[in-house]
Structure 1
Amino acid sequence: MYTIGLTGGIASGKSTVSAMLRKLGAYIIDADEIARKIVMPNEPAWHDIVAHFGNEILLPDGRINREVLGQKIFKDKAERQCLEKITHPYIENEVQKSIAHAKSIGEQVVVLDVPLLFEVGWGKMVDRIWVVYVEKEVQLSRLMDRNHLTRQQAQERVDAQMSLDEKVKQADVVINNNLDIEHARMQVAAAWRKID
């Protein structure tokens, strides 16, 4: 089984590339999807998060208000690290289960779609690392449009992650997503053909 660690920055187009790889036949393990699942009401991670951040981060139905929590953690590095310390062990446990499942059903190519692949040290779990790259201005513009953020809010979210330039230095494959979707698709298809 061949494993790809797919990463990038916020609003870099990683999800778009992940969808392309799924169409090509890859088995996708989406860490963001797992992260959303583990913080559902009454899950163990949910209890830990509420115990730390308090009930003011909850919506009336008990779900975590991602916007309120986001405002807390993007302004305060210590709080962001605390949230990561709570969630990452739960996420990693689910990722390991998903990898074992993919292996058991004979999947050939598995993609770990992980925004913080380098930050959490999961690069060693994969055979190759693919980074989706965009220039900072493109990233900020897409993030402001997509999430209806001010430039400062977008900048805080971008600054909270390792820079894409740093990620590119550690990549085996770089997908340049500054142009249109067709340009990205051609690069993905070319890299896919080289998988050994």
Structure 2
Amino acid sequence: MRIGLTGGIGSGKSTVAGFLREAGAAIVDTDAISRALTLAGGAAMPAIAQEFGADFVTTDGALDRERMRALAFSDAAAKRRLEAILHPLITAGALAQADAATAPLIVFDVPLLVESGRWRSRVARVLVVDCSAATQIERVLQRPGWTREGVEGVLAAQATREARRAAADAVLLNDGIPLDTLRNEVRSLAARWGCETITQP
């Protein structure tokens, strides 16, 4: 079975992905694919350099992620231009990884699954990791380099909690619960959705 995993920034989606991997699922990380595409020598870099210019390329030939993030959040048209370059390449890479996987459960980890509108038809189920906005902000502020203004800007650009929950076949509420409780909920869901061989914690 192929499922889509999504959640807002700071929701704990990466933690849930790790627990799904423990349970025997194959994880297709679209963020990792995107990063690989925009490293020096990445397949997306020639088109990005042509579209946005040398100012958005670091001295070693990678995407200047901070500069691009600032532009994308302030200019919707620029964001669409970037997505037009990246999304087809990310999708192709993700589907190739899924086709090569042999696990009984294949999880597409897609931060913007709901926003993109393209992934729902590719997966049998959507799993949403949810928590309050206050918890999201608190978690992200513990990461290096983030400001409250920056986190709030990302939250404003992402789908609302209500939109994500409306698109979900299952919701994991990751707010104020112990990690072991979250792990057990993930393992139970993985078993129900196709991972017959569950590794022991």
Q: Specify the code of the residue in structure 2 equivalent to 1:135.
A: S
CA contact (8 A) 1:177 1:183 kept: no
- CA offsets, 1:32-63, max 9 Å, x none? 11111112223331111111222112222121
Deviation at 1:98, TM superposition (A): 1.2
CA offsets per residue over residues 109-164 of structure 1, 9 Å max, x none?
11111111122220111111100101111112212221432221111111111112
CA RMSD between the two structures: 1.5
**What amino acid maps onto 2:151 in structure 1?**
A
Distance in 2 separating the partners of 1:107 and 1:190: 17
2:171 is aligned with 1:174 = yes
The answer to whether residue 107 in structure 2 is matched with residue 111 in structure 1 is: yes
Tell me the equivalent position of 2:17.
18
Q: Partner letter of residue 168 of structure 2?
A: A
User: 2:41 aligns to what?
Assistant: 42
Paired position in structure 2 for 1:60: 59
Query: In the alignment, residue 43 of structure 2 is paired with which amino acid?
Result: P
**What's the TM-score once normalised by structure 1's chain length?**
0.91
- Measure the CA separation in 1 of the matches of 2:189 and 2:61: 43
- Matching residue of 2:198: none
Identity fraction in percent? 34
Q: How does 1:64-103 map to 2 (within 5 A)?
A: 64-102=63-101
- Tell me, what secondary structure is at the counterpart of 2:159? coil
**Residue 135, structure 1, aligned to residue 132, structure 2:** yes
Structure 2: distance between partners of 1:44 and 1:156: 29
* TM-score, normalisation: structure 2: 0.89
CA contact (8 A) 1:130 1:172 kept: yes
Contact map agreement 1:75 1:156 (CA 8 A) in 2: no
